[in-house]
Amino acid sequence: MAIPLREPLTERAVHLCVDMQRLFTSDGPWPTPWMARVLPVVTNLVARFPERTVFTRFIPPETPDGLPGAWRQYYRRWREATREQLDPHLIELVPGLAAFAPPATVINKTRYSGFAASRLSTHLAARGAEAVIVSGAETDVCVLATVLGAVDRGYRVVIVSDALCSGSDEGHDALLRLYGQRFSEQIEVADSATVLACWK
């Protein structure tokens, strides 16, 4: 049974589509097996109001030394994902979504959270955003970091449960429970049909 949203979504709601890139398909080093399954759902969300959509893109460093601290160890482990070795086409949005930008906005980031890129905060403030509708990859990594960043900034957060994907089924399921239970006062979880019916 679908869980209704507390109130309708308005023109102040922005669809924040996290890292739906070829990097996270079976072509890339970090495949999320569900991406192909959720892509039609994400596409429907984007198509509703492409001008109200922001795509984030995760951009790895050129080399492991391109980021500080523990990120260096991370990219020594994942050297094939650094830009010195990565096919640059893998950084692009998946086919089907790229056609929406523009009018959709694309914001690059080098960390998990979309809010690690100050341009996202500036962009949302400039358009008077009050709510973010979140879709994308991965439920338990970049989506998690971005969602918590949005919560910290006081946005109404609506997570679209059937528009998320992860490389870990266990992590995905655990985070959906966390979003809907531990953060129930700040985060709403609903399926895409419910979100689209409430987003005018």
Domains defined for the chain, CATH in brackets: 13-59+93-198 (3.40.50.850)
Q: pLDDT category, 168, cuts 50, 70, 90?
A: confident
For Cα atoms 117, 42, 133, give the angle at the middle one, nearest 5 degrees: 55
On whether the CB atoms of residues 179 and 189 are closer than 8 A, the answer is: yes
On whether the CB atoms of residues 127 and 133 are closer than 8 A, the answer is: no
Q: What string of DSSP letters covers 70-118?
A: HHHHHHHHTGGGSTTTS-GGGGSBPTTTGGGTTTSEEEEESSSSGGGSH
One-letter identity of residue 36: A
For Cα atoms 116, 106, 177, give the angle at the middle one, nearest 5 degrees: 60
Closest Cα to residue 105, out of 88, 126, 90?
126
Number of Cβ within a 10 Å radius of residue 50? 17
Closest Cα to residue 52, out of 109, 99, 13, 8?
13
Model confidence pLDDT, tens digit, residues 123-165: 999 999 999 999 999 999 999 999 999 999 999 999 999 999 9
Identify the pLDDT of residue 1: 44
Rounded to an integer, the average pLDDT of 88-105 is 96
Which residues have C-beta within 8 Å of that of residue 50, sequence separation ≥ 6? Answer: 100, 101, 103, 104
Closest Cα to residue 164, out of 65, 20, 47?
20
Over the chain, what is the mean pLDDT? 94
Identify the pLDDT of residue 138: 92
CA distance 134 to 163: 8
Sequence length of the chain is 200
pLDDT at 190 exceeding the cut of 70: yes
Residues above pLDDT 70, as percent of the chain: 98
Model confidence pLDDT, tens digit, residues 41-68: 999 999 999 999 999 999 999 999 999 9
User: Which two three-digit tokens encode residue 28?
Assistant: 């890339």
On whether the CB atoms of residues 135 and 45 are closer than 8 A, the answer is: yes
CA distance 96 to 87: 19
